[in-house]
Amino acid sequence: MFVHYIDLGWRSLKRTPVVSLLMLLAIAIGIGITMTSLSVYHMMSVNPMPHKNDQLFAVQLRTMDQGVDWWTPDDLPFQLTYQDAMNLRKSPVPFRQAAMLKTGFGVKPANPDISPFIETARAADSDFFAMYEVPFAYGAPWDKAVDLQGEAVAVIGAELNQKLFGGGNNIGKDIVLDSVSYRIIGILKAWKLEPQIYDLNNGAWGQNEQLFIPFSLLPIQELKSWGNNNGWKYEEQKTYQDKLNSEVLWLQYKVELADKQAQQDYRDYLAGYIKEQQQLGRFQRDDAEGDIKNIAQWLDYRQIVSDDNKILVGLSFMFLAVCLANILSLLLAKFLKRAPEIGVRRALGASKTQVFAQHLVEVGMLGLAGGALGLVIAQLGLYLLRSGFSRYEAVAQMDLAMWLAAPTISLLACLLAGCYPAWKVCRTTPALYLKTQ
């Protein structure tokens, strides 16, 4: 019977082409606009590592002097000082932990045909790769010993490997960064982690770094920060060591905690650390404290999805509701015009349920077709966003969930709008129309 209803629905849509087209356009435009804003929202709010949501944590410390406020709701800075990062690295509580910094180099390729170029890099502890499940094509991260003493080794991404060597296993070869030679010990597979949860200070979207070196090289190579440096008091910095000893907040610090007990233990550890530093004369404020935030909390805290985006999604759904209201009235008029035919069908044995189902199938077809056309409109909308606003390049995309959501939302929305007209027409009193036809 379902196939028959599809046949009847198709005939009905063809019978009133203008009305059908109007309804199709209404739902398609509604879905197109809704899916455009929803896709951006979805891509922005997506947790890229939901399975590690309660294991990976960002570490924050309120270390400023009394009377110095931060601009965050809880008065906690996003980053840490070098001193604190180095101290926290000694904690035995985290299963894994990584201090890190966005930096960069001038790369001088061995191949004379390739011109030197600038490449951003990440200086991080070796746990970084396991914490963020960075996949290796060849080699492995550096040893824990390198995290302590520093060694000029590097892990490069698949793209950089292609650019420098044309791909393949190039473990053991050297890469020259700012005139210093680094031995390549690992080559990554193609990899993408968006939003870039390990460092939201320097743009949540865009390509992940293609070059990784040990964090322990920071004092040795005097690595410069290519990210944010947040100072809250005047400190004279004549040497690199001055910066390392300063209260400038410029490093990201992440920990992986195995379970709730470890989380509590780490909070206690941070509290102990604050107390210890206060006794040493640092952290001269009454409410000095540490905090950890999991991935979802961190994304929300850093307002990766702005209120504007949320409002836009709300508005687009309201627009969809207006489209549905129009569809509802068109369907009502169309279905009621067909009441005499329904009267005949009822007289010939159709139950109310069958009449209702017949009309819902027709509405469902409209919903699916509208969803498909809506997807095209949404793709156009996302393309315009990508072309017009570079910051939307990474997020004005549709993933599989959104591709499936479009026809689903369209179908459900149309069924919702079609319920009342279908119910109304299935309650037709057949006798009323049989004599008048």
Q: Which of 353, 388, 390, 400 binds other proteins (CB under 8 A)?
A: 353
Q: How far is the CB of 192 from other proteins (least distance, A)?
A: 53
Strands (E), 189-251: 211-214
206 phi, psi to nearest 5 deg: 115, 180
Among left, alpha and beta (phi > 0; psi -120 to 50; other), residue 139 is left
- Beta carbon nearer to other proteins, 11 or 189: 11
**Of 137, 102, 280, 124, which Cα lies nearest the Cα of 216?**
124
Q: Which of 236, 349, 388, 400 binds other proteins (CB under 8 A)?
A: 349
Q: Which of 137, 344, 416, 419 binds other proteins (CB under 8 A)?
A: 344
- Beta carbon nearer to other proteins, 11 or 275: 11
Q: Which of 45, 278, 354, 408 binds other proteins (CB under 8 A)?
A: 354
Residue 111 found at the interface with other proteins (CB under 8 A): no
Q: Which of 1, 18, 118, 400 binds other proteins (CB under 8 A)?
A: 1
Residue 424 found at the interface with other proteins (CB under 8 A): no
Q: How far is the CB of 6 from other proteins (least distance, A)?
A: 13
Residue 337 found at the interface with other proteins (CB under 8 A): no
Residue 348 found at the interface with other proteins (CB under 8 A): yes
Backbone Cα Rg of the chain: 30
Residue 346 found at the interface with other proteins (CB under 8 A): yes
Residue 336 found at the interface with other proteins (CB under 8 A): no
Query: Of 168-176, 181-189, 313-321, 337-345, which part binds other proteins (CB under 8 A)?
Result: 337-345
- Bridge partners for 106 per DSSP: 118
For 265-319, give the secondary structure using H, E and C.
Answer: HHHHHHHHHHHHHHHCCCCCCCCCCEEEEEHHHHHHHCCCCCHHHHHHHHHHHHH
DSSP one-letter string for 361-396:
HHHHHHHHHHHHHHHHHHHHHHHHHHHH-GGGTTTS
- Beta carbon nearer to other proteins, 4 or 391: 4
- Beta carbon nearer to other proteins, 15 or 233: 15
Residue 431 found at the interface with other proteins (CB under 8 A): yes
Cβ contact 161:167 at 8 Å: yes
Residue 430 found at the interface with other proteins (CB under 8 A): yes
Query: Per the structure block, which two tokens stand in for 241?
Result: 């060591």
Query: Of 144-152, 176-184, 347-355, 359-367, which part binds other proteins (CB under 8 A)?
Result: 347-355
- Beta carbon nearer to other proteins, 401 or 432: 432
CA distances from 348 to 98, 208, 276, 330, 342 (A): 75, 67, 88, 27, 10
Query: Per the structure block, which two tokens stand in for 417?
Result: 């709008």
Contact residues: other proteins, CB under 8 A: 1, 4, 11, 15, 340-341, 343-354, 429-431, 434-437
